[in-house]
Every structure is written in structure tokens, then in C-alpha cells.
Amino acid sequence: MNTELPPARRAMVMMRVGITMMLKDRARFVGTVAGVVFAVVLAAQQLGIMFGLLQKNTMFVDSAAADIWIAPPGTELFQPGQRVPASTIDLARTTPGVHLASPLVVGGGTIKKPDGGNEGITLIGTDTSTWLGGPWNMVAGAREAILQPDTMIFETADREKFGGLNLESIREVSGHLVHVGGFTWGLIPFGPSYAFAEIDAARDMLGAASNRVDYVLVTVEPGMQTEEVVSRLKARMPDLKIISGPDFHTAIVTNLLKNQLGMSFGLSTSFGLIIGLVIVALSMFSSVIDNLREFGTLKAIGCTNRDLTALVLAQSVAYAVVGSLVGLFLVTRMAAGIRSARLVVITPAWLTGLVPIVMLVLCLLAAVLALYRVRKLEPGMVFR
Amino acid sequence: MTLEPMTGDAPAVTVRSLTKIFGGGATAYTALAGVDMDVRAREFLMLVGPSGSGKTTLLSILGCVLSATAGSAVVLGRDVTTMKPDELPAFRLQKIGFIFQGHNLIAALKSRDNVALVQELRGVPRAQALKDADEMLVAVGLAGKEHSLPGDLSGGQKQRVAIARALVGAPPIVLADEPTAALDAHSGHAVIELLKALTQERGTTVICVTHDPRIFSFADRIVNIEDGLIRPDDGSHS
Ligand SMILES: Nc1ncnc2c1ncn2[C@@H]1O[C@H](COP(=O)(O)OP(=O)(O)OP(=O)(O)O)[C@@H](O)[C@H]1O
Ligand SMILES: [Mg+2]
């Protein structure tokens, strides 16, 4: 009499049969993998675009080099149109633990094109004594250019849009003639691109009071805990929103996900996953139906339901692995192809790591229907 | 590693009052109406009868792929009608070789892998299982076809692979349902001749359902079944 085969080895035998069967049916294999690839590409692409859009809204906060933001009450996003009292700066500067406190002005401006039309800009007035909230990602010129009178830095991706901007071009911005002193790359939020001026020049262009302050950007003294300084500032300015840079980032992301982005990208991502699930499920189910006699034969010669489960699951794991690899390869290539100053597709490493796991779950779920059919199959059918 | 053939004169199969009713109520159909039958160890028995007489039904119950409605069917000392469902696959795997009307090979597997699979499931290490398979393929006259896929073989060759799969590891009983029906007369004759020779040398008990009078001469005994009953005038011949 033969010895009982250990379950793990027996499962290996069945998995080998499953993989062989899967590879033999090349058309179905390619079709099913394509389904997984579709799900990976669509889901990762949608999430990548969503992260890109989130980044558009957080990039100023991320790059402003401020440990702490002082903003008007109720601030949820970084955008123009909010004010804090001018006295805030002195209050902040005299708070123990504060290293620097700089005003920032943000407003909507217009740039007049040579042909007469107007385009919007998001005018940023930077305190050039600290450069907190100053231009970054410079691709031409230097940020110090705005120290020159009536000189601004614009977004390179909008040069055409603004009527063929070049270094030293002269344009009318909100009624003031300015020189183009440099260009940034990719500084385009949801609204018009950021354009930087020295803070007093910006106030001038905006027709604002000479003490207008929209935000105060704070850095803490070396060795100080940001949270500690935040609470001190809060104690002195209970009516203002005082938030650390990272918390502001998180608040913006949360706000956008809750309000709009989360819903629409959640839907399109789920759509990709559901389509993938359906394709894989139908393919695996039809594979069982097409090979019903073979599965019946396996049962008749002594395979158990557990054996056939191993066979089917090996196939679904293989679909997930191959589909994830091909899909991620395509996503990486596509993200590189799409990347522009207007839209950066961001696929963080954790997303790349998550894809195969999600696809594995998806493919295992997709196997349920096929497994149900296989388990229900009567071995007696082989004699019919 | 091989399975032990039945020894002594204990009957391989003892069927008593075996009844199978398909469905229920008004549409109930009695396929087996109380079959009594004995099959001796090492006997090559042919089961013949008109279409719909219950041959396949009887074979299916003996092969543990169909449950009985009433009666008993003792196969190799165990009443298969009372066995627990989760015992059946192992019993089939270890004790019974199946040959179907179609070859029922796994299309994706080479002939040797089709044959070796049974041995591997029985716990034979892969290398040995492949060796057993190759030997069996030589025995059925398919030397050189070990690496062929079923799709590349003729009908007769495929049925030979199926015979190799049924006989590898020498299970004590082989159940065959019209193994020649899908073959032309010449290959059919060759296949049954092979089955007879191989099972005889291994001491295997064979129950073979057939419609084909040309192969009756290979039987040790022929049992007639009609309307779900064994015909009483049944005699043995050899
Ligand atoms: N699952 C089933 N449900 C209902 N009736 C069935 C079922 N299986 C078989 N039958 C009926 O039982 C009877 C016996 O069938 P069986 O297949 O055993 O006949 P057979 O002798 O093998 O016939 P054939 O020579 O045509 O293969 C037939 O009338 C058939 O229609
Ligand atoms: Mg039949």
C-alpha cells in the first residue's frame, strides 16, 4: 500500500497541473492577464493622477520651508483671498521658540498678453529677507531676480499661454509693468500658476494696503519642538488658525479627498478593479466550463475538492503575479510619458508594493465562481 | 511502488439487490431494479445490454462516482454504498483504474504526465512516478510518445495512454465503459487485446461495459443486463 502524500506536496502536484493547463490555453491566458493588467493600469493610473492632483494643492505648503503656518480662521486650503491682522507678525516674532516669522501675500492677478487678452496668475508676494514661501524649482534665472524692481518669476509651462514669455520680456501684470526675471517648473496648483514678486511689489500690484498679510510663515528655533511652539502661538492668537506644515499638508489632503477627489478617483479606481475582477472571474469560470470533462476526470481518478482548489488557486495566483508585473511596468512607463509641468503622475513605492497584494486578493475573489463550479461537479459525469 | 493485486478467491465485487432510482415523484426513473452480481478476483467480465439498460449506472456505483438508492455493492471487501463521501476519492485513487469511452486525458499534459499524475497523487515521488509512467507507456506500445500531448496522438494512441493511466501502479480493479466505442474496428480490437493481456499478467479484475460483439471473445464471462436487471439465463464462457 502507498503512503499518504503530505498535503503540501499533493497541493504542489495539483498546482503544477493547474499552471500547465493555464499555459496551454494561451489565448485565455493572455486575455486573463490582460484583464489584470487593465485593472492595475487603470487603478494605479487613477491613483497616481489623484496623488499628482493632491500634490498640486500641497506643493506650496510642502516647499515653503515653514515649520508653522499662521492662517485666517477656517482656512482649509492654501489659496488666495484670506487675511490675518498685520500685528500677527510681531506677535509671532516675540513668541519664545520662534526663529523667523515672515508675511506672505497671495492674490489673484492677471497678466496681459501682447495680443490684448488676459490670463490669470496666482500672485505670490514673498518676504525676501527670509525667502519663506519663495519660488522653488527654478529652471531659468534665480529667485534673487525679484529683488530687482518690478521683476517677477513665472511658470515655464505657461510661457506660451502668457504670449511667449522670455527672460527680460516685459508684461503688464494687474496694471503694472514687470520684467520677467526667471522661470519655475511645475508650479501649477488647481488654479492659475504661481507667479512670484517681492512682497511690497505684490501688494502694489494687488492694490492692497502696504501692511496686508495673508499668511504668516514661521520657523522654529533649532532644538525647539514644533508642537510646543504651535501651542504657544495658539495661546497668544486664539482666533487664528495655527498649524504645523505637515499638519497643514494632511489637512489639505483630507479636505480634498473628502470633498471631491476621493469620490471621483475612488470611483474610477474601483471601476478599474471591478472590471478586472469581472474579466478574471469570467475567464476562470469559462475555463472550468470548457474543461468540465477534464475536471470531472480528475475527480473520478481520485482528486479531492481540495486538490482541485489548489489547481484553480494556483492559476489565479499566477494571473495576479504576471498581471501585476506587466501592469506595473506599463504604469511606470506611462507615468514617465505623461509627466509634465501640468500633471505629474505619482506612484509612491507603497502603491507599487500594494498592487500585487490587491491583485492577489482580486484574483482569489475572481476564482470563487470557478471553484464553486468545480466543487459542485459530480465525478459521475465522466461516464456520460 | 505498486498496489497489491487481490489474492485468494475472495470475490472482487459482490452486488446485492442494488437499486438506483433517478429523480423522484412522477419523474422517478428506476435505472437499476435490484441487481445481483458477483465478480471473481482476476476475472475479465463484460457487461452487455441494450442502451439505457443501466450498464453505466452500475459501473458508476461500483466506481464510487454515483450513490446507490438501495442494496449493497461490496468492492474489494468494502461496501461502497455506505462509504462516507470523503472516503471515496482516496478509495478510487488507490483501488480503481478507470477507462472511459472517450480517452478523457488532460489535454495540457504530456502522455507521461497524464499517467504519472495518478502515481504522484498516490504518494509516489515524481521521479519514480515518471519512471512508472514511461514503463507503462512502453507496455501499451507507446514507446517514444512519452512527451507527446494528447492532441498529437491518434484516437487509438490516446486510448492506450488512458489504459496506461488506468493500469499504472496496478490497481486491483479496472472499470471500463465502452473503451472501444470511439475507435475504428482495428484499433478497438488492438486496444481490448492490450487491456486483456496487461490485466491478465497483473491479475487485475476488469469490468468492461461494451456494445461491441467483436470483442466479446476477450471476456472470461459475459453478463447481460436489461431494464436494470441481470438476465438470469446468464452463463459464463471462456
Ligand atoms: N442522472 C440521471 N438522471 C436521470 N436519469 C438517468 C440519469 N443517468 C441515467 N439515467 C437513466 O438511467 C437509464 C440507464 O442509464 P445508463 O446510462 O446506465 O444506461 P446504459 O446501459 O449505460 O446505456 P448506454 O448503452 O446507452 O450507455 C437510462 O434510461 C438513463 O436515461
Ligand atoms: Mg452507458
pLDDT at residue B67, rounded to an integer: 95
Distance A304 CA to ligand 1 centre (A): 25
Residue nearest to atom 5 of ligand 1 (CA): B22
Closest to B12 in 3D by CA, of B95, B86, B93, B75:
B75
pLDDT at residue B6, rounded to an integer: 47
User: What's the average model confidence in pLDDT over B132-159?
Assistant: 96
| Residue A144 belongs to some domain of the structure | yes
User: What's the average model confidence in pLDDT over B196-213?
Assistant: 94
A86/A158 same-domain check: yes
What residue in A sits closest to B98 (Cα-Cα)? A301
pLDDT at residue B211, rounded to an integer: 87
Q: Is B156's C-beta closer than 6 angstroms to any atom of ligand 1?
A: no
A228/A93 same-domain check: yes
Cα A320 from Cα A323, distance rounded (Å) = 5
Band (pLDDT 50/70/90 cuts) for residue A335 is: confident
A225/A301 same-domain check: no
Strands B29-39 and B13-22: antiparallel
A291/A235 same-domain check: no
| Residue A67 belongs to some domain of the structure | no
A308/A354 same-domain check: yes
| Residue A63 belongs to some domain of the structure | no
The answer to whether B182 faces chain A, any CB pair under 8 Å, is no
Task: Give chain A's radius of gyration (CA, Å).
Answer: 30
Residue B76 φ/ψ region, left for φ over 0, alpha for ψ in the -120 to 50 degree band, beta for the rest: left
Chain A positions touching B85 (Cβ under 8 A) are none
A293/A375 same-domain check: yes
User: What's the average model confidence in pLDDT over A149-173?
Assistant: 92
A156/A214 same-domain check: yes
Give per-residue pLDDT as tens, B43-68. Answer: 999 999 999 999 999 999 999 999 99
Cα A85 from Cα A92, distance rounded (Å) = 12
| Residue A17 belongs to some domain of the structure | yes
Beta strands (DSSP E) in A116-235 are: 118-126, 138-141, 151-155, 170-173, 176-184, 194-198, 215-220
Measure the CA dihedral B111/B117/B120/B122, to 10°: -120
C-beta contacts of A6-12 below 8 A and 24+ residues apart: A7/A306, A10/A307, A10/A310, A10/B121, A11/A306, A11/A307, A11/A310
pLDDT at residue B238, rounded to an integer: 41
User: What's the average model confidence in pLDDT over A280-295?
Assistant: 94
Cα B227 from Cα B238, distance rounded (Å) = 26
Split into its structural domains, chain A has a count of: 2
SS3 A102: strand
Q: Please say if the pLDDT value at position A225 is more than 70.
A: yes
Q: Please say if the pLDDT value at position B7 is more than 70.
A: no
Distance B170 CA to ligand 2 centre (A): 25
Q: Please say if the pLDDT value at position B237 is more than 70.
A: no
pLDDT at residue B76, rounded to an integer: 96
A94/A228 same-domain check: yes
Q: Please say if the pLDDT value at position A211 is more than 80.
A: yes
The Cα of A310 is separated from the nearest Cα of chain B by a number of Å equal to 13
| Residue A170 belongs to some domain of the structure | yes
Give the cell for residue A191: 488654479
Q: Is A160:A210 a contact under the CB 8 Å cutoff? A: no
Q: Is B31's C-beta closer than 6 angstroms to any atom of ligand 1?
A: yes
| Domain assignment of residue A266, given as a range | 7-57+261-383
A293/A218 same-domain check: no
Q: Please identify, among A183, A204, A239, the residue that sits at the C-terminal boundary of a domain.
A: A239
| Residue A65 belongs to some domain of the structure | no
A84/A124 same-domain check: yes
pLDDT at residue B3, rounded to an integer: 52
Structure-model confidence comparison of residues A115 and B73, the more confident one: B73
Backbone angles phi, psi at A49, to 5 degrees: -65, -40
pLDDT at residue A308, rounded to an integer: 96
| Residue A277 belongs to some domain of the structure | yes
Band (pLDDT 50/70/90 cuts) for residue A5 is: confident
A213/A266 same-domain check: no
Q: What is the DSSP string of B129-151?
A: HHHHHHHHHHHTT-TT-TT--GG
Give the cell for residue B144: 517514444
Cα A7 from Cα B118, distance rounded (Å) = 15
The answer to whether B78 faces chain A, any CB pair under 8 Å, is no
Nearest ligand by distance to the CA of B61: 1
Band (pLDDT 50/70/90 cuts) for residue A3 is: low
Query: Considering only A35-39, B1-5, B67-71, which range has the smallest mean pLDDT?
Result: B1-5
pLDDT at residue A341, rounded to an integer: 78
A289/A196 same-domain check: no
Q: Is A75:A82 a contact under the CB 8 Å cutoff? A: yes
Q: Please say if the pLDDT value at position A293 is more than 90.
A: yes
Q: Report percent pLDDT > 90 for chain A.
A: 78
Cα A23 from Cα A149, distance rounded (Å) = 71
Distance B56 CA to ligand 2 centre (A): 4
Q: What's at A267, amino acid-wise?
A: L
Q: Please say if the pLDDT value at position A116 is more than 90.
A: no
pLDDT at residue B8, rounded to an integer: 56
Cα B226 from Cα A373, distance rounded (Å) = 35
Q: Please say if the pLDDT value at position A82 is more than 80.
A: no
Backbone angles phi, psi at B116, to 5 degrees: -65, -30
Q: Is B57's C-beta closer than 6 angstroms to any atom of ligand 1?
A: yes
| Residue A256 belongs to some domain of the structure | no
pLDDT at residue B85, rounded to an integer: 93
Give per-residue pLDDT as tens, A97-110. Answer: 999 999 999 999 99
What count of other Cβ atoms lies within 10 Å of the Cβ of residue A84?
Answer: 25
ipTM of this predicted structure: 0.93
The Cα of B105 is separated from the nearest Cα of chain A by a number of Å equal to 7
Residue nearest to atom 19 of ligand 1 (CA): B52
Please state, in angstroms and as integers, the Cα–Cα distance from residue B46 to each residue in B101, B102, B158, following that order.
Answer: 15, 18, 22
Cα A195 from Cα A181, distance rounded (Å) = 11
Strands B229-230 and B13-22: unpaired
Q: Is B23:B29 a contact under the CB 8 Å cutoff? A: yes
Nearest ligand by distance to the CA of B229: 1
Residue nearest to atom 16 of ligand 1 (CA): B54
Give the cell for residue B172: 486491483
Q: Is A262 exposed, middle or buried (0-12, 13-18, 19+ CB in 10 A)?
A: middle
What count of other Cβ atoms lies within 10 Å of the Cβ of residue B58?
Answer: 29
Helix A292-300 with A261-290: angle, nearest 10 deg? 60
Give per-residue pLDDT as tens, A358-378. Answer: 999 999 999 999 999 999 999
Q: Please identify among residues 267-306 of chain A the ones whose CB lies closer than 8 Å to any CB of chain B.
A: 291, 293-294, 297-304
The answer to whether B170 faces chain A, any CB pair under 8 Å, is no
The Cα of B169 is separated from the nearest Cα of chain A by a number of Å equal to 10
Closest to A314 in 3D by CA, of A6, A10, A34, A5:
A10
Chain A positions touching B93 (Cβ under 8 A) are 301-303
pLDDT at residue A291, rounded to an integer: 93
The answer to whether B148 faces chain A, any CB pair under 8 Å, is no
CB spacing of B120 vs A293 below 8 angstroms: no
The answer to whether B195 faces chain A, any CB pair under 8 Å, is no
CB spacing of A383 vs B56 below 8 angstroms: yes
